[in-house]
Amino acid sequence: MTKVTVKRSEWLRGGRSTSRTEDCVGYLYKTQHIKHRPTDGRCCLGFWCNALGIADSDMKDCPSPAELFQKYANEQREHELPESMVEVLHTTAHQDGSKTAYNQAAINMLIQINDEMEMGDPERERKLITFGKEAGIDFTFVD
């Protein structure tokens, strides 16, 4: 189980917040604008990727671990990804040597919970903690 600390001030998630001026759901990592200043932010799985040693620059504009794998595969670097990330993906090797990856159901559930627009943060955190365990992720949320 990978322990992941999510900093609420850097957490990209669904819903509206007075501290965020743009909607940044759907990304592992993205620069957002808070009070007209660029600030780095991550979704819950972006924090997980950081905990696995993946740099923000590699996650930039990737919507999920599957697309991150695809980015690495296209650069012939997928061997650099931690095994614990590859384990939560379905990967297919093609005859031409290319590879395709899909998120497992547990990862898709975490994405859905993280990006849900109508859910409040206390409920979102409870659900991410519960469903994270199915993906081998132990989330903790801090201010």
pTM of this structure? 0.87
HSE-up (13 A, CA, CB side) for residue 38: 3
Could you tell me the residue ranges of all domains in the chain?
2-64+102-142
CA dihedral sign, ordered 77, 97, 60, 25? negative
**Tens digits of residue pLDDT in 60-106:** 889 999 999 999 998 989 899 999 999 999 999 899 988 899 999 99
